[in-house]
Amino acid sequence: MPRRCAKVEKREFIAAHAVFTILTDWKDLMAKKSRNPNFDQTLDILREHAFQIAPYEAIAGAYLVSREDVGAVIVAQKDEAALAITPGILVRGELARLLDRGYQKFIKTSKFELPASAAQLHAIHAFSEELRLLTGEIDLYNEALGTTSDVYQYDRLKGREAAPKPAALPWNEADGH
């Protein structure tokens, strides 16, 4: 005996389900919107989270964002906040860079070079994480693991910058022979 199946008209099915209706303004709904706040909103958000914000004279239009002796410099880039100087410890009002020498990390300013303590490294890491979260920056895997340095200077690599002299080849004639 042949099987009998119900035949459904395609038009009736589409008309019965609103899911298949085509929106005339679908491009407007699909337009990407930035989740990141603009620069002024970012400054307001940082103030709400107890960050101190002051103009940074060394860079035009930049602001020093600090809290608990840790700071960073941010600037407006395409109406969003971007880091101009990475987070570091504030030493006598100057933002210090983190220097990695392989065996130890150092806090380096224009006048001082001090060994970094574990508490300072934790403070820089916590500050960086919170600043990145509030400004909408991308969180990278290697930065999430721990504090990354601005400069890497390993003592065993010192002096390797100059290219070594090429070795003399025995088949090249030397002294006219």
CA distances from 17 to 10, 21, 155, 161 (A): 11, 8, 71, 70
pLDDT, residue 57, reads: 87
Helix (H, G, I), strand (E, B) or coil at 14: helix
Structure tokens at 168: 């003399």
Helix (H, G, I), strand (E, B) or coil at 172: coil
Q: Which comes out higher in pLDDT, residue 91 or 15?
A: 91
pLDDT, residue 164, reads: 67
pLDDT, residue 63, reads: 92
pTM value > 0.85: no
Q: Which comes out higher in pLDDT, residue 59 or 157?
A: 59
Q: Where are the domains of the chain?
A: 36-156
Asked whether 98 and 149 are in contact (CB, 8 A), the reply is yes
Asked whether 122 and 109 are in contact (CB, 8 A), the reply is no
Q: Is the pLDDT of residue 160 over 50?
A: yes
Q: Is the pLDDT of residue 177 over 50?
A: yes
At 17-54, the pLDDT tens digits run 554 455 555 555 555 555 677 888 888 888 998 899 99
Of 85, 82, 89, 79, the C-alpha closest to 56 is: 85
pLDDT, residue 70, reads: 93
Q: How many CB atoms sit inside 10 A of residue 76's CB?
A: 17
pLDDT, residue 104, reads: 84
pLDDT, residue 20, reads: 47
Residue in this structure with the two tokens 């006219």, named with its chain if needed: 176
At 53-97, the pLDDT tens digits run 999 888 888 899 999 899 999 888 887 888 888 889 998 888 988
At 107-116, the pLDDT tens digits run 888 898 889 9
Structure tokens at 165: 């002299």
pLDDT, residue 71, reads: 93
Q: Is the pLDDT of residue 176 over 60?
A: no
Question: Phi and psi at residue 132, in whole multiples of 5°?
Answer: -65, -40
Q: Is the pLDDT of residue 149 over 70?
A: no
